Amino acid sequence: MSEQTQSQAVLLEKRDATAIVRPQVKMMDDDQLKTLIRVIDEAAGADSAVKLVILDLSRVSIFPSLALGLLVQISRNCKARDQKLKLAALQPHIRRVFAVTRLDRVFQFADSVDGAIE
């Protein structure tokens, strides 16, 4: 069962116990980040049956340092709700940012959304 909703530049798809969040922007600026947090919190809030949150970053090619900090916040929120957060389809240069900052030890990554679901 799949359900889709849209909020500005973020698409949300729910598949069973999985929420797939897809930013539709090239750069994650402050407004997009706030929208992203709101969409995830609404979709995967404490009363939700969601057990896995997948953030599909395939369209994002510019990822400022502020976005890294907010991703850590999203990760903590998910852990507090007993949910897993996986980052999917990152472009290679963005994936390297996670390696350089050692945040690759904090997050789980997948090559695609389907790979993250498995």
Q: What are phi and psi for residue 83, nearest 5 degrees?
A: -120, 150
In sequence order, the 6+-apart residues with CB closer than 8 A to the CB of 45 are 81
Domain containing 14: what range?
A: 2-117
pLDDT on residue 63? 87
**Average of per-residue pLDDT across 40-59:** 89
Q: pLDDT: is 35 or 30 the higher one?
A: 35
8, pLDDT greater than 80: no
Q: How many structural domains compose the chain?
A: 1
Share above pLDDT 90 across residues of the chain, in percent, rounded to a whole number: 64
CATH of the domain at 69: 3.30.750.24
DSSP conformation letters of 55-89: EE-TT--B--HHHHHHHHHHHHHHHHTT-EEEEES
Band (pLDDT 50/70/90 cuts) for residue 7 is: low
Q: pLDDT: is 59 or 9 the higher one?
A: 59
pLDDT on residue 46? 66
